[in-house]
Amino acid sequence: MSEEKKQLRNMETPFVFMEYDKFEKKYTWTYWPLADNSLLNFETSIEDDPPGVNDPKLPTHPVGSTGTIRMTVRCVKVGEGERVFGLDYFCTYSKELFIKDGDLKINLDDTTNLELTPINTGSQALEYICSEWGGFLIQESQLKQIADAKKVGVKVSGPAFAEVWEDKSAQDFQDMLRCFYNNMVDKQSHIDTIKTIMDSNKIAILDGLVHDQDIKERYLSDEITLDEAVGLQNERIEAQKQKEAEEKQKRIQKRRKLIEEGTPEINYNKYQEMKKTRTTQMVVTGIAGCVLLIAHSWWLGLIVAGVAYIFFENKYFSQEKIIDVFGEEIAAKYDNNFGTLDAEYKDDIPSSK
């Protein structure tokens, strides 16, 4: 692939990429939808996230049970000539419908209709599916009309069919043109739409990385970068872990002192027996499951292992047994869960004793 092709996403104009053909002296700007990691990794290149009419992130309208109509927008400039804008489409159908013999109508605010005629069309018919591609020339002034409209309707027609895009599809179509118009023509236009889309992607990136609302708000307001937001969240998590560890250590020291004074918080002898039973449970369950898995089948091994595990749980780790060891108040505090209780009390008795 040529060096000119290896273009990174420019966050000043994040919704377009530019190609230059030095042989034809032709510039082509194509709409480039934000990918899942576009804001996480600004160095995403065309090779990593190739744009084109097959991109599922483009405005798409379903046709029948399996077909789709997908559109994108681009701009071309040759030499010192004028910029030419166009809409490209790609369709798949279960039968030949032929937009190439029809048109595209765009309704603005329930009053004005723009009618575009397809050019440079092509089609291919296979046994179970047909595909078609082509484009529509559109003037810059028409792009502005569509972008500025409060409401947009889209109707794609052929000789034997007409598809009216649903509200979401039509809105996605208008948002695409607003983003493209902003990046290509007027950087001050439709800033609210740009911000909404950018924030939506930012929020998606934050999921699993940042939890605190105040950090999210600082990132969304561009007060801090994503790396700074993640770093700040990690610092808070580590600080919280350290605090919890210190608090747990204080509880352990307090309980050890009670043991030395002869007034232990729980019955440690029964607790140690319970721990041995847990080990036995895991060994018996594992051996029974493995033996039957090898001797018979995996499903029988799984069933027997499950039955053995449940037997131990009901007999040795019931709520009554847990209360007998830890007391009713402590057991309730940890939801009568032996695993949680074990994690809290396992270090009370030093290993050297």
Percent of the chain whose pLDDT exceeds 70:
90
Same domain, 212 and 201: no
- CA 184 vs CA 140, 144, 174, 302, 340: distances in Å: 10, 11, 15, 61, 58
Among 46-50, 220-224, 248-252, 253-257, whose mean pLDDT is lowest? 46-50
> Which pLDDT score, from 0 to 100, does residue 137 have?
97
Same domain, 47 and 147: yes
Residue at 333: amino acid letter: K
Mean pLDDT of 130-140: 93
Between 26 and 41, whose confidence is greater? 26
Same domain, 55 and 165: yes
> Which pLDDT score, from 0 to 100, does residue 55 have?
80
Structure-block tokens of residue 325: 């060891």
- Give me the number of domains the chain comprises: 3
Confidence of residue 202 (pLDDT cuts 50, 70, 90): confident
- CA 177 vs CA 34, 58, 205, 231, 316: distances in Å: 14, 11, 24, 36, 66
> Which pLDDT score, from 0 to 100, does residue 127 have?
74
Contact between residue 105 and residue 157 where contact means Cβ atoms under 8 Å apart: yes
Mean pLDDT of 231-253: 96
Confidence of residue 225 (pLDDT cuts 50, 70, 90): confident
Domain that holds residue 86: 3-206
- Distance, CA of 78 to CA of 258 (rounded, Å): 86
Between 288 and 85, whose confidence is greater? 85
Same domain, 51 and 180: yes
- Distance, CA of 40 to CA of 55 (rounded, Å): 19
Mean pLDDT of 81-91: 95
Q: Quote the Cα angle for 149-154-156, to 5°.
A: 155
Confidence of residue 54 (pLDDT cuts 50, 70, 90): confident
Same domain, 96 and 240: no
Select from 221, 244, 262 the last residue of a domain.
262
> Which pLDDT score, from 0 to 100, does residue 39 have?
60
Mind listing the pLDDT tens digit for each residue in 246-299?
999 999 999 999 999 999 999 999 999 999 999 998 888 888 778 877 877 778
Same domain, 100 and 196: yes
Same domain, 246 and 126: no
> Which pLDDT score, from 0 to 100, does residue 42 have?
52
Same domain, 182 and 315: no
Same domain, 41 and 134: yes
The closest alpha carbon to 313, from 274, 342, 273, 347, belongs to 274
Confidence of residue 7 (pLDDT cuts 50, 70, 90): low
Q: pTM surpassing 0.75?
A: no
Mean pLDDT score across all residues of the chain: 88
Same domain, 117 and 226: no
Same domain, 147 and 223: no
Same domain, 9 and 134: yes
